[in-house]
Structure formats: C-alpha cells, structure tokens
Amino acid sequence: MAETNGNVKNIGLRGVKVADTRISHVDGANGILIYRGYRIEALAEHSTFEETAYLLHHDALPKPEQLADFRKSLEEARELPGFVFDSIRKLPRSSLPMDVLQASIPLLGMADHELEDESREANLRKAIRLIARVPMIVAGWDRIRNGHDPLPADERLSHAANFLWQMTGKLPDDDISMDLDTCLVLHADHSFNASTFACRAVVSTQAHMYAAAAAGVGALSGPLHGGANTAVMRMLEALQGEGNVPGWVRKELDAGRKIMGMGHAVYKTTDPRARFLKDMCFRIGRKLGEEHWCRLSTQIEETAVAEFARRGKTTIKPNVDFFSAPVYHMMGIPGDLMTPLFAVSRIAGWTAHIIEEKFGDAHGEKPVLYRPSSEYTGHYCGKEACTYTPIEQRK
Ligand SMILES: CC(C)(COP(=O)(O)OP(=O)(O)OC[C@H]1O[C@@H](n2cnc3c(N)ncnc32)[C@H](O)[C@@H]1OP(=O)(O)O)[C@@H](O)C(=O)NCCC(=O)NCCS
C-alpha cells in the first residue's frame, strides 16, 4: 500500500459510464429523454403506464393481445396475503410513508412464492407483482394512518385510477385518472439515476429483486432525488400569500439553500418532463379553479432562473419534481405521498433495470459485481500499519 494523498475529487460519478443499458437514455445537453428508443413526449401523449411498463420490460411496444395479457397479470397480482397489512398496521401512524414503503418491500418478497426462483420468467412475474403491489402499499398506508382499512382493488380501473380509488375510496374523475396515468409514464424510468443505480448495485451481488427494490426506495427518498417533490410542495405551501417571491428566492440563495425542484445532474437545459407537467398544471388548475398553484410555481421558476443566471448559473432549470408537486396536490395527493407516488411509477423502471443487470442483457456478457475503488485518506502508519494498543494501555 502506498502512502495516500487524497487526490480523488468526489464527482458523484458524473459523466462516468458504469454499464451499458438498452432501457433509457437522457441527453442532458438537448433535453431529450427516450425509453427503449421512443421520445418521452410521444409516450406521454399516446401511451399508458401499463403499455410503457411493458415497453420497459420487453424492449418493444406490445401488440394488443400482449398488452391485454400484461394488464390481466397486473390485475391478478393486486391482492396481498393478510400478514402484509397486519404487519404494516403495527407501525407508528407518524411513520414516513417512504419508510413504510421501504419496510414493506421485503414483506412483499416474503409473500412471493417464487422468491428464490431466479429464472428470467420468474423475475418478470416478480416485476409484475411489484408494479401491481407497490401502489397498494402506498394507498393502503395512507388509509391505515388515517384510521381506515385498505380497500380491495377494482379490476375495472386502470393502474392509475385504481391507485386513486384505493387511496380515497372514491371513483376518480376520468380526466384526473388520465393525467395521473401520464405522470406515471413520465416518471417510469430515467437511466442511471441514484435509485436505479442503487437497485443495480444490489442486484449485481445476485440478491433477489425485492432486496434491490427496497434499496431503490431508500435512495429515492432523499430530497436531492425523489424527495424533492415533497419539498417543493412544502415550499409552495409556505409561499402562499408571499408578496415578495423574488426577495424570498434571493434570501434563500444568499443563505446557501437550494430551491427545490430546480437543477439536474444531467439536464443542463429544460427537463422535457417539466415542460409537460407545467402545461398539465395549468390545464388542471383551470379546470379545478386552482390555477394559483401554477401561477405561484411559475413565479418562483422565473425569478429563480433569472437569479441563477445573475449569479452565473445558467443551466439550473425546473426538473420533473417542480411542477409534479402542484399537479399532485390538485389531484388530492398529500405532500408526503408524492415521493411514494414517484416510486409507484419508477418501480417499472427499477424492475426493468434489475432484470437487465441480473442477466447481463445490455451487452450479452455475464453480469459483474459492482466494486469500485476509493482512495484511502485515513491514518497511515507505514507498510507495517499502526500498532494495536490493548484498551487498558490506552490513555
Ligand atoms: C439535483 C442536483 C443535486 C443536481 O446538482 P448538480 O448540478 O449535479 O450539482 P450541484 O448540486 O453541485 O450544483 C452545481 C451548483 O449549482 C447550485 N445549484 C444546483 N441546483 C440548485 C438549486 N436547486 N438551488 C440552488 N442552487 C443550486 C449548487 O449549489 C452548486 O453551486 P456551487 O457551484 O456554487 O457550489 C441539484 O440541482 C439540486 O440539489 N437540486 C435541488 C433538489 C432537486 O430538485 N432534486 C431533484 C432532482 S430531479
């Protein structure tokens, strides 16, 4: 071991390509996102979450009978053994919904009779169960913490509409269900973001899909990643009635605090998902008479972008979390359920990446365990290392 000098700059792996993937691609310079070759705008406009999930898993859009089978498998998986909700009911009502979701994923694994079957077919079936059941946990926990029982699924409803039904117990408005469906399409995958990379690192050890998905939920919960939408909603609520938004933005930046929902590790221009969500925000706002949320968001966006530019930072623009917060709020989603709702969608991408990693699909070579190196900057006592002093002799 050589003496260390601590020269490694922690760049959070920015720009480092760690693997091939066939699933999705982010072109940050041009603001382009594709899933399996298709532009996100085309999918958001024409596809559904179920079809997009199929695409992410199968590398091709489904034919009608394939989509019908996929939907049926999802519907059939919307049932849980009693012990799952019995266990969740014992958790403190004040638990963070992302913690409850992360704790529940291994329970879903324990409920899976194919847990130890590592064939490709069994992994695809496990993925379907996870996609079907994550929303049940999120909706079920919201009901439990509010003193209600979880509701059975309604097989007549789409994935998005069923989530709203299982959360509220009311049949959702068709337009709101379709908008939520579009939100799920927009959030379903995003190449090697932190949570997807966490899933891939875990599964590279040959751990099962549920162990990897639980890691994904943990990574998503942070405010620099999926947790940003909850933080944006908190900001919007705090700024309602604020007469001086530009002053507030300046104060935050002067204090070294971040404006949540702005900036991106890869996009250096507008995030295409944010553009879509901004239009959706105004459309829903007009319909529900709640446009003030979109106007406030736009005011923060415009003043923050101008203030960033004044400070020489011209690449910080709204990301997917910025306008999804007011959109979800108008759909009746509580602030702390917004990040779990991100997971309801992203589980489709995570499971596709888990399978790709497990089977080395992207490059046709055998999968490899992730094991990066680091530069040791701790104590160094030379080649022989430090002399161990027994505890009674330490002063
Ligand atoms: C997502 C994020 C971590 C990406 O950051 P990045 O561009 O890779 O790298 P950094 O965080 O180092 O940002 C570069 C600079 O821009 C600043 N910056 C980036 N986003 C900012 C924001 N939202 N508000 C204020 N300043 C921001 C950083 O403070 C840093 O400034 P410095 O060079 O003076 O230290 C960052 O934009 C962020 O924290 N955004 C807010 C949280 C968020 O919305 N997350 C969801 C992402 S989808």
The DSSP letter of residue 256 is T
- Amino acid 4: pLDDT: 59
Instruction: Retrieve residue 131's tokens.
Output: 């996609």
Instruction: Retrieve residue 339's tokens.
Output: 């990040």
Q: How far apart are CA 229 and CA 222, in angstroms?
A: 10
pLDDT band at 5 (very low <50, low <70, confident <90, very high): low
Q: How far apart are CA 174 and CA 19, in angstroms?
A: 41
Q: Is the pLDDT of residue 3 over 60?
A: no
372-384 burial code (b ≥16 CB/10 A, e <16): eeeeeeeeeeeee
What three-state secondary structure class fits 387? Answer: coil
- Atom nearest to 14 CA in ligand 1: 8
Q: Is the pLDDT of residue 7 over 90?
A: no
8 or 327, greater pLDDT: 327
Task: Confirm if 109 and 354 have CB atoms less than 8 A apart.
Answer: no
Taking the centre of ligand 1 as the mean of its atom positions, its distance from the CA of residue 258, in whole angstroms, is 7
Q: How far apart are CA 98 and CA 337, in angstroms?
A: 8
pLDDT band at 241 (very low <50, low <70, confident <90, very high): confident
* Residues with C-beta less than 6 Å from any ligand 1 atom: 224-225, 228, 253, 258-265, 313, 316, 319-321
- Amino acid 287: pLDDT: 97
Task: Confirm if 345 and 131 have CB atoms less than 8 A apart.
Answer: no
Taking the centre of ligand 1 as the mean of its atom positions, its distance from the CA of residue 262, in whole angstroms, is 7
303 or 6, greater pLDDT: 303
- Amino acid 228: pLDDT: 98
The predicted-structure confidence for 322-375, as pLDDT tens digits, reads as follows 999 999 999 999 999 999 999 999 999 999 999 999 999 998 778 899 999 999
Task: Confirm if 78 and 132 have CB atoms less than 8 A apart.
Answer: yes
Q: How far apart are CA 113 and CA 66, in angstroms?
A: 24
Average pLDDT over residues 297-320: 97
Please name the residue whose Cα sits nearest to atom 1 of ligand 1: 264
pLDDT > 90: percent of the chain: 94
Please name the residue whose Cα sits nearest to atom 40 of ligand 1: 263
Q: Which helix (H) or strand (E) holds 26?
A: strand 24-27
- Atom nearest to 319 CA in ligand 1: 48
Amino acid residing at 129: R
pLDDT band at 217 (very low <50, low <70, confident <90, very high): very high
What three-state secondary structure class fits 176? Answer: helix
Instruction: Retrieve residue 323's tokens.
Output: 């306008």
Please name the residue whose Cα sits nearest to atom 8 of ligand 1: 265
- Atom nearest to 232 CA in ligand 1: 44
264 as an active site residue: the answer is: yes
330-364 burial code (b ≥16 CB/10 A, e <16): bbebbbbbbbbbbbbbbbbbbbbbbbbbbeebeee
The predicted-structure confidence for 19-73, as pLDDT tens digits, reads as follows 999 999 999 999 999 999 999 999 999 999 999 999 999 999 999 999 999 999 9
321 as an active site residue: the answer is: yes
Q: Is the pLDDT of residue 242 over 90?
A: no
- Amino acid 97: pLDDT: 98
Select which of 112, 179, 189, 321 is catalytic: 321
- Atom nearest to 271 CA in ligand 1: 48
pLDDT band at 8 (very low <50, low <70, confident <90, very high): confident
Q: Across-strand partners of 34?
A: 25, 39
Q: How far apart are CA 59 and CA 34, in angstroms?
A: 12
Select which of 57, 187, 264, 329 is catalytic: 264
Amino acid residing at 342: F
The predicted-structure confidence for 262-287, as pLDDT tens digits, reads as follows 999 999 998 999 999 999 999 999 99
Average per-residue pLDDT for the chain: 96
Closest CA to 150 of 248, 82, 72: 82
Average pLDDT over residues 176-200: 98
The torsion of the CA quartet 39, 41, 45, 51, rounded to 10 degrees, works out to: 40
Given ligand 1 and candidates 193, 221, 258, which is best to mutate, with the most ligand atoms within 8 Å of its CB? 258
The DSSP letter of residue 25 is E
